[in-house]
Amino acid sequence: MIKTLTCIECPCGCEIKVTIENAKIISVAGNGCLRGKNYAEAEVVSPKRVVTSTVRAETGEMIPVKTDKPVRKDAVSEVMNRINKVTCKLPVFVGDVLVENICDDADLVVTGNF
C-alpha cells in the first residue's frame, strides 16, 4: 500500500509517498529533507497534532490556549472535552500552564497575556 502525504514541516509542501507492507514502512520518497521523512513516518505510524482552543476566564473573557506538544490525533476529542471544562483566573501570561499533562505528557498553556 502507498500512502501519499503533503508535508507540513516547511513551506515547500513536498508530496511524500510512503510504502507500507505488513504494517511496516518499506520506503519514503518525495521528501526534500530529513524533516519531511521524519514527518511522513510519524504521520503514518502515529499521527499527532497540537491542539489550539480557548478557555473562559472567570470574568468571561476568552483566553487563547494550546497544547505545548503534539498529542495523538485520536485523542483530540478527549483533549477538547477537557479544555471545555477549564476556567482560569486573571491575570494570565504566555506560557502559563493551565492544565498539567492534559494528554500524552502535553500541558495546556496560555498563548496570550490577559
Structural domains of the chain, ranges and CATH numbers in brackets: 2-45 (no CATH), 52-110 (3.10.530.10)
Instruction: Evaluate whether 46 touches 25 at the Cβ level (below 8 Å).
Output: no
pTM tops 0.75, yes or no: yes
Q: pLDDT tens digits for 11-66?
A: 999 999 999 999 899 999 999 999 999 999 999 998 999 999 999 999 999 999 99
Q: What is the pLDDT of residues 63-84, one digit of tens each?
A: 999 999 999 999 999 999 999 9
> In which order are the strands placed within the sheet that holds 2-6?
2-6, 15-21, 24-29
Cell of 12: 515547500
